[in-house]
Chains A and B, each alone.
Chain A
């Protein structure tokens, strides 16, 4: 039975972790480029230089000393997000929705004192959320406001779109919707729903939750399919441009769609996960190999987006 499943998965072109690591990440992602994506501040700076839209950066805290100015520097903003520059998987992200008297308020309505915020930032600086526990920077940035299209299918939080870009060509996409279980975080490990998106049309297909296929949102029961992602061609182009930005051939691009600013680059990932295959109900290998078979890959992001739409049109 096991071996049978094995063969079926192989025939379906499902990519496993071992193959992803050895045949794609090690081959196309040079180690020296990792710092560009591991540090969100660097990514943000690069993106701004290249003219790629990102959430506006409000403040950066790098030392404990900086914390003395925390209240002062946060004063102009009532909505913001605090995150570690080296965090992974949405850990250490603190979203503030507004202010109430001396408190700042989280999306679920709980108020925090500035001291508590300061402790959170201090934790970030000490490296608790970074890989290997190395000291980190904390960044404060614009709080993205969800495009209304996602309102019926996301529980608090901000859904984000994961684009897998292989050698500059958008190859597969999914949107991650926060659930009650994920505590408003768009992280599949924490219980968010992943929904596959057709590359050519930007329309959602079906979902994956806890590694299992689902058709409806686990909290609201609404259908997850046939949502149309707004600004899809622009979003694809944004993803394709990240290839030039980083030089990473096997890249996960996380994009949020802001109500007013449109698609914004949130972060990049040099070792994107494989759940995107379950969300799309198809293996990555066929698409990756289709790109590898091409004689040449166009130089401009726009041409690559067109190429992707032709290659991955689903009939």
Chain B
């Protein structure tokens, strides 16, 4: 019964920790590998025009939470222009408005964004369902042509999606007289507009979206028009040239319905061209920007909200449970004897600062020197507390001595001995000298070697860069460590050392 309670708790902790981490990976694109790079698109709109030597005003429609993309960054190159950003309101999309008292000659303004194509399926905001359009008053003979074409498509299709698909393909390709008539009614750049008119004849809500397919780098390209049809639940995209449903890959939607994305006053010959190119960017910084744009509750768990100093403290603290877990394994499963329970973790923490080789050398120097002095103190028959205090004083003296000596010799590692936990060193020396006297040098050295071995293992666990990254980026993994500790708390199997100890019994 106790068994199952432990495992239920352990499972709960593990599931909780892992699912929060999974959400962070999948929703916020936080990478599991710190070196992972994401592809980010730099897209630039260039607005070129000529001033007429009078006050000028240029308004540009800006993309606003384009579906399937995270907008990481935007900036404006405005020169001497005043800039105002208007949020979307009353059906008017978000706009940048540049104004200047006097503009003359060729002018150029730039609008620059960084977008990150999200891995998941484009989740568009369904918004309120559009109302069904009224059947337009077509002029004859267009009216009968459209009716005939609609009738044909209706007969051959099953639902709105296939209907639209067929209809658009038909209008594009058929040699039918009716279709020719319809085609003729469309102006060159009003092709998509004509399609929406025809669709309105079947009372199907449709709209045109203007955007950029982000596939290959491009320079000075206009926006691509795409047809969208609402099937009562959500919008579906259609290629206005083929009727194929779907969107181009990575279709960055810039504006809806209106082909004119600029509104101007006092300028002429306005031209808008778009350029874009792929740039690699560390996935982690992408994730951080995605975080700051979104406002999810998950991010309350991010270390980045803390002051940098505190962050660094936690980066170390979050590794301590891993060190403790190494001890759990070493003592409970392997059966390595150690002095004290957590002494190896603290020594491993000190190794973190001193680096391993220097740390082990310093540790050995201080403990063996301290031990020698401690043995000398035994002869003086000091009482326990004063003796411990004396050993502590001597340990600190030794540390200072080593630091001074290495400063003289120019060995930088020697200075870091100051980071050793001196009380732990003192207790280690005391424990070791007692074990030495009671059970002989063999046992004392064995336990000392065991402690050092566990400390080294702990050091490797606590400094492994990938683990450090994982723990500081996903602090919720603490729950997983907790779960593992709970599991091993219920481990009743043999320790590996016991197999050695009892091996004679196995022979019988």
Contacts and interface: CB of A to CB of B under 8 A. Distances in A.
A126 B384 contact: yes
A159 interface: no
Contacts of A10: 494
A156 interface: no
Interface string A109-145: 0000000000100110011100001000000000000
Interface stretch (A29-37, A215-223, A234-242, A275-283): A275-283
Contact of B505 (A6, A123, A189, A278): A278
Nearest to A135: B384
A16 B439 contact: no
A226 interface: no
Nearest to A120: B381
Interface string B494-508: 111011011111101
Interface residues of A, number: 33
B383 A277 contact: no
B504 A213 contact: yes
A119 B383 CA distance: 9
Greatest chain B CB density within 10 A among A8, A119, A190 is at A8
Contacts of B128: none
A75 interface: no
Given A133-B384, A211-B501, A12 B494 contact: no
B490 A277 contact: no
A2 B494 contact: no
Given A16-B492, A16-B493, A5 B384 contact: no
A16 B495 contact: yes
Nearest to A189: B439
A50 interface: no
Contacts of A12: 505-506, 508
Contact of B434 (A2, A128, A189, A277): A128
A311 interface: no
A6 B434 CA distance: 34
B56 to A, nearest CB: 82
A192 interface: no
Interface stretch (A18-26, A243-251, A254-262, A298-306): A18-26
Contacts of B218: none
Contacts of B434: 128
B492 A18 contact: yes
A277 B505 contact: yes
Nearest to A275: B501
Contacts of B335: 17
A18 B384 contact: no
A16 B498 contact: yes
A277 B502 contact: yes
B499 A6 contact: yes
Contact of B492 (A9, A19, A211, A282): A19
A111 to B, nearest CB: 18
Contact of B494 (A9, A91, A128, A281): A9
B502 A14 contact: yes
Interface residues of chain A: helix, strand, loop or mixed (majority): helix
Given A9-B502, A277-B505, A278-B502, A128 B495 contact: no
Interface string B381-397: 10111000000000000
A212 interface: yes
Given A19-B492, A22-B492, A281 B499 contact: no
B484 to A, nearest CB: 15
Contacts of A119: 381
B490 A22 contact: yes
B495 A281 contact: no
B132 interface: no
Given A17-B498, A133-B384, A212 B504 contact: yes
Interface in B196-230: none
B491 interface: yes
Interface string B462-499: 00000000000000000000000000001111111011
A281 B381 contact: no
Given A12-B508, A17-B495, A126-B383, A5 B438 contact: no
B344 interface: no
Q: How large is the interface on B (under 10, 10 to 19, 20 to 34, 35 or more residues)?
A: 20 to 34
Contacts of B438: 89, 91, 190
A180 B295 CA distance: 75
Contacts of A211: 501, 504
A283 B494 contact: no
Nearest to A283: B505
A35 to B, nearest CB: 21
B66 interface: no
A93 B99 CA distance: 96
B499 A2 contact: yes
B332 interface: yes
Contacts of B505: 9, 12, 14, 277-278, 281-283
Given A12-B508, A122-B383, A189-B439, A18 B502 contact: no
A45 to B, nearest CB: 26
A16 B506 contact: no
A5 B508 contact: no
A23 B508 contact: no
B507 to A, nearest CB: 8
A145 B496 CA distance: 41
Contacts of B492: 16, 18-19, 22-23
B491 A18 contact: yes
A2 B496 contact: yes
A94 to B, nearest CB: 13
B504 A18 contact: no
A133 B388 CA distance: 11
A281 B506 CA distance: 9
Most chain-B CB neighbours within 10 Å: which of A6, A16, A128?
A16
Given A126-B385, A133-B384, A281-B508, A5 B493 contact: no
Contacts of B381: 119, 123
Contacts of B499: 2, 5-6, 9
A133 B340 CA distance: 13
Nearest to A181: B440
B8 to A, nearest CB: 17
A2 B385 CA distance: 46
Given A119-B381, A127-B384, A19 B493 contact: yes
A187 to B, nearest CB: 9
Contacts of A8: 506
A283 B498 CA distance: 13
B5 to A, nearest CB: 13
Given A128-B384, A190-B439, A278 B504 contact: yes
Nearest to A133: B384
A190 B440 CA distance: 8
Contacts of A133: 384
Give the top 9 A-B pairs by smallest Cβ distance, nearest first.
A126-B384, A8-B506, A19-B492, A16-B494, A5-B506, A213-B504, A18-B492, A126-B383, A16-B498
Interface of B: 332, 335, 381, 383-385, 434, 438-439, 443, 490-496, 498-499, 501-506, 508
Interface of A: 2, 5-6, 8-10, 12, 14, 16-19, 22-23, 89, 91, 119, 122-123, 126-128, 133, 189-190, 211-213, 277-278, 281-283
5 contacts: A9-B499, A18-B494, A91-B438, A126-B384, A278-B501
Given A9-B499, A9-B502, 12 more contacts: A6-B499, A8-B506, A14-B502, A16-B492, A16-B495, A17-B335, A18-B492, A123-B383, A126-B384, A190-B439, A277-B505, A278-B502
